[in-house]
Structure 1
Amino acid sequence: MRGQGRVFRPIIDGKQIQVWHLDYGIRGRRYRESSHTTSKRDAMNQLRERIGNRKDGKIVGQPDKVTLAELKAGLEKHYSHEDNASWKRAAQAFIHLEKFFDPDCKAIAITKAMVSEYQHSRLAAGAARNTIRYEVGVLSAAFGVAVELDKLTVKPAFKQIEGGAVRTGFFEPGEFAALVLELPSDLAGLVRFLYMTGWRRGEGAGLQWAQVDWNDEAFPGQHYEPVPGPNACIRISGAQTKGGDSRTFPFAPALSDLLLARWRVRDGLRVFHRHGKAIGDFRKAWAKACTTAGLGGKLVHDLRRTAARDFRRAGVSEGVIMQLCGWSTRDMFDRYNITNADDRKRGVMSRFGGSEGQSNGKVSADLQEVS
């Protein structure tokens, strides 16, 4: 099978073993595995089958032994290893997945057709489309971890249902969670930081540990891990910001968890890095993750808009938002247009004492009195 793979008998401890092994490549990735047979003909047949299955996106390996419960456990360990704080949300997705498939369901039974049935079942139950997309994304991520751990040898490509209306310029919580699942681990931390703080990409990518004030008086010993104090914050000087103004951003629980996770994998001066080196342009990785998550067209800068909008919805004054996120002038802040139709509707209902689900009769009556 010239150019498509080979079968061979490895030499171990100076002796050639009798069992044939497979060696082949698909889409730039190399695979090696035992055929578990001493027959070269049987090994060649396995090789042809493996290559065909991988190209078709079919599960190969030992899918008859791996269960959904094992896929879940593997993903949970992966989240723990990566210090990913969003496992709680992923675990909620598994509640619905296990209810439909059963925890003891074999990986081989989780076919594209079955996933399609799951999607229609969830739609019939009233689940939002973006929620269903997230749940299938979690399932896909669990298969991906199983492949990394050599429990399976291919990750099936499940087709996602069409999402709900994508809100240009902003991320909803479910959309952002789906995006993070598709990002490489070395980018996920930086993107989560930008989502939390609303800072510019360069400000986040350039953040160094010297700018993180833990407000921790503990003596830094050999196994030191900081414990954030009540006044913990991030400080950057005016020389490092676009507007030339220094900035302080206090810790919140989610930000604290993220920075502690980065501390545990630190490698040099930078908080966010790729094997110790600065993270440069990541537009290709971003575009790929957005497309896979069904969020094509989203921009990194939309994280900044989203942070400003969410701060505003939380009741933070616009002046404080400008200080936290780094807008030096009101004119620049206003250009971001951080309100949308839902915000304006909430504003009107709040002004006239109603709620979004109520009739607008009282609003009309109030308006008529002053006309």
Structure 2
Amino acid sequence: MPKKKSEDSAPGNRVKLRGLGQMYRREAGGNWHVSFSVNGQQFRETTHTDKYNDAVAFLKKRIGQIEKGEFTSTKTDRVMVADILRDVIEDYRVKGRDWLRTAGPIIEKYLIPAFRSMRVANLNVSHLRKYVSDQLAAGMSNASVNRHISILRRAYNLGTVSGKVNAANVPHFKEVALEENNVREGFWTHEEYVRFRDALPEDERAVFIFGYWTGCRFSEVTMLRWEQVDLEGRMVKLRKGTTKNKRPRLIPLGNAGLGDLHDMLVAQKTRHDALCPESPWVFFRRGSITPGRASARRGNRVMDIRKAYLAARTATGIQHLFHDLRRTGVRNLVRAGVPESVAMRISGHLTRSVFERYNIVDEADLHDAADKLAKYVTGKAAPKESDKGEE
């Protein structure tokens, strides 16, 4: 290994370093460049410094990356953070991810402006901490900041796969993760469901009904096509690519007249056939009803119900979130006596630990348990058959 030299005693404009490669500069006093070989392929790049010892350290770092299998190309050092962030948008677009509507504005409004002039190789935890601090100071919640950082982490992961990012340059994103107050405790009572349902317009009401009775995620509901609905067999088939865990699953509809689900889909099919039979979407926009003129929106997929949802919250005073329907659906399945394994297949939860995060005990459950205990202790509960035998 080369001995450390003072800058004054550094050799001429070209130096061979045993076991490392070569260093050279195009003119005296200029920046040092390095030359090294990887699997027979020659690489050359600038060290961005005219200091001999700093240039040697740069070359040693490169050789260390090669030995660990972390080196991909010298070009990765020139890739900008904005480039790999735009790759995330393109990745979501190509894969048809519904989350593009959320991720796109975050990337364009926040992340690209913040890291526009930064190379992927230079971003570190200090830069991430400053970004987190700035967003918190601006009033952003911990959960929202974490979503921003997760998008940035996604960009680096995609960049590593595509060869745009050197694995050694990926920051430790976990170091800036914030604690979230995301306790899942919102539930709909059936009375709240009925009031809120009746306050929604027809297009949004159908989406809400399906969410309540099935516990499906919003994106799973709105991406349903009629080819997935079997009204005669009373079953809906969620496709592999439309579920969060990428696995298909079956949603039972129940019999006609039992709840709103089956009857709603029958009514929805009648509306569809009358208004827009060519549309593939189960949940579609009716559009304007100007006589003699077809609406441009008619038959379009329902993608956003926020305006109608907020109006219904104001009208009813019920402040539950749409995602609370998922927790409610899981709880209702369990309370109805559906076996846990079957409930998990309907809800799409792969592990019991995640399933239990949705099957939360609320205050009503606790009061019910207290009543049952009191009846048992005071003898008001009917004795079990086994107890009668002992008597």
- Into which bin does the TM-score normalised by the smaller protein fall? 0.3 to 0.5
Q: TM-score, normalised by structure 1?
A: 0.44
Task: Please tell me whether Structure 1 or Structure 2 has the larger radius of gyration of its CA atoms.
Answer: 2
Q: TM-score, normalised by structure 2?
A: 0.42
Task: Answer 1 or 2: higher relative contact order, Cα 8 Å, separation at least 6.
Answer: 1
